[in-house]
A and B are shown apart, each in its own frame.
Chain A
Amino acid sequence: MTQQSGTVARADAKRRGGAGLLVLPAALWYVGFLIAPLIVLFVMSLGERSPNGGYAPGLTLEQYANLTSRITPLTNTLGLALLNTVICVIVAFPVAYTLALKVRGGWKLALVALVVVPFWTSFLIRTYAWMTVLGNQGIPRLLSGVGLGEIQLLNTPFAVSLGIVYNYLPLMVLPIYVSLERLDHSFVEASRDLGAGPIATLRQIVLPLAAPGILSGIVLVFIPVMGEYLIPILLGGGKTYFLGNALADLFLQSRNWPFGSALAAVFVAGMIVLVALYLWVSSRLVRSGREASLL
């Protein structure tokens, strides 16, 4: 018996060793390209700007104290990221719902493919295209032709929002689509049979089951939008100032690496908290989902 359990333990260890070996490349990857740079970032954030730019070693929290000077870009970014994520959810849900539950067969495949098609063209080129559409020779010209007067669209917060929603919408549609696609249609039928109206069914059956997808979509959209840099430059004309722009300016204009590192460190920490929160909420959702289906 003891012998047997010993054999089992050894086999177990062997299996674990094998798995460890398989994980090694990924582990090295993360240590080398994620953990190590984060450490460098943190160490640099404790330094000082050398008189001619760049980094001079130091051990000070001065850079963190200076962060108050970047409150405006932070609130700008948070506000616009939240707003645009909400817009994405509102726009994406009906699209995903229609794709998953209303369209059948070949049409469905074609339409889902169309959601992905924009990714075939470079993000930069698509955003440049919007510059033409929103610029003086584009929509404003049409509008003034109809007698609506001079309207500026390009380089406004509206243009920035439009660019963000346009670019990130597929990242919201797809996860919601996937979660709805797996939805067992008999639940919906049962709900209707039992007398629930369409709105009650949506609220009590469809939305809770789609919640993990919505949550993934929110994370997929919110986090990159928080780091967005190009859209504010191209469609906002540099007048809408995001955290990403503040960071880029610190490295590429002021050449203040320690301050830039401190700002980046706080940003990364914030995002880690957010992802942790996401994991916690989604694990609870899955558990409650399992309980619900047991009932």
Chain B
Amino acid sequence: MTNGRDPAEITRLAIQRRMSRRTFLAGTGAGLGALALAGCAPPSGASSAPTTGGSSAVPSPASSGASAPASAALGDTLTLATWPNYHSQEVLDAFTAETGVAINVAVYGSTEEMEAKLRAGNSGIDVVVPSNYAIEGWVADSLIEPIDYAKLPDFVREDWNPLFMDQAFDKGNAVSIPKNWGTTGIAYRAGRVPEGVTTWKQFFELAGTTYKGKTLIVDHQISSFGSASVAMGYSLNTIDPTEMTAVEAMLTALKPKLFAISSDVQPPLRNEDTWLSIAWTGDGVQVGRDNDDVKYVVATDGGELWIDSFTVAADAPHRDAAYAFLNYITQPDQAAAETEFSLFPHANDKATALLPAEIKDNAIIYPPADSLAKLEYAVNATYNSPERAEAWARIKASA
């Protein structure tokens, strides 16, 4: 309905959302603090009808044919385990207005945290939005269920960008539908880094020399160890012992010269505590919008491309509501509104077409296809490699 949010509004939202999506602290302990701080929704389990003041099932006349019929069978709540600042509250409210299903948004700082909750069992989570690398393991351990496309009558496969569908981690999208995708790139302060940075090789060289004490790498094995591997000419996904030893030695030597190993990317970049930083698409867009001096680039020597996808928990207590939600949220209108809010690119081409020019033509949000060619998806073997996990732990523990 009110899709056309003006640019000033977007900037304002971007400023409000100072924290990076993965930020959020790992630090706050089991994500509880994240819930309290993110403040975007009542914590899971709260049965309060949030936001629109009463979740009475008044169908909103303006929302179009995409709607599943309001039905008592859906129940009255749904728990969505997702990232901070990832969903448009208007879209969630419209779903509630249409179906009578109130959405509890549970915010997590990482896929791994979502997984911990799912594995513990009885999480109450219905829909969860993991990154690509976790999906195979979750399927193997039956944490998520195959998507019953019969329950998504409005889903049109042809609307979706083949670049992000039918990937190796989920052939035929049997268990997952993309929510947003993005890159792991390099953010830098152009005023401080006049030569610019275009490759990971350059990034890690400069981090240990010219920009000693001014560089941040994220606290995430896949993104940081992976980007360092790319810098040394290896695959993002390397689990070769010799290559891993070389990457570990490089990062261990670099560690004392870093400003931080932290997934809270945005604050130090804004404060000029960091001049050079690993960052995810959203960080690049949000900080870049507020500050012309901050540039975000996708490295030309490779790096990480990722997709967060909607999946349905195998023990979802509100399965029907979960499918009604997926049917709704994957429609172009809703997907476009979500993208306008989160500023991460979407895999639904019809949604992308609905976006205002300053978003769909923004090369940071939607990088040109050829710049993505060298990027890799992190795979399950990387995510679950004990050797890589231990190498990363040794790097972090080193003096």
Contacts and interface: CB of A to CB of B under 8 A. Distances in A.
Contacts of A54: 119, 141
A289 interface: no
B390 A241 contact: no
A233 B25 contact: yes
A51 B33 contact: no
B384 A253 contact: no
Interface residues of B, number: 47
A62 to B, nearest CB: 12
B27 interface: yes
A233 B26 contact: yes
Interface in B264-313: 267-268, 271-273
A257 to B, nearest CB: 8
A50 interface: yes
B259 interface: yes
Interface stretch (A66-74, A85-93, A199-207, A213-221): A66-74
A155 B259 contact: yes
B60 to A, nearest CB: 38
B260 A53 contact: no
B26 A248 contact: yes
Contact of B392 (A234, A239, A253): A253
B51 to A, nearest CB: 25
A49 B386 contact: yes
B29 A52 contact: no
Nearest to B393: A249
Interface stretch (A6-14, A94-102, A131-139): A131-139
B145 interface: no
Contacts of B29: 229-230
Given A54-B141, A229-B29, A238-B260, A252 B110 contact: yes
Contact of A53 (B115, B219, B267): B115
A229 B29 CA distance: 9
A152 interface: yes
Contacts of B26: 233, 248, 252
27 contacts: A50-B141, A51-B140, A52-B380, A53-B119, A53-B384, A54-B119, A72-B397, A73-B397, A136-B271, A137-B272, A152-B213, A230-B27, A233-B25, A238-B260, A238-B262, A238-B396, A239-B256, A239-B261, A241-B397, A246-B397, A252-B26, A252-B110, A253-B220, A253-B221, A254-B389, A255-B112, A256-B389
Interface of B: 25-29, 33, 37, 110, 112-113, 115-116, 119, 136-138, 140-141, 213, 216, 219-221, 255-256, 258-262, 267-268, 271-273, 380, 384, 386, 389-390, 392-394, 396-399
Interface of A: 49-54, 69-70, 72-73, 76, 124, 131, 135-137, 152, 154-155, 229-230, 233-234, 237-239, 241, 245-246, 248-256
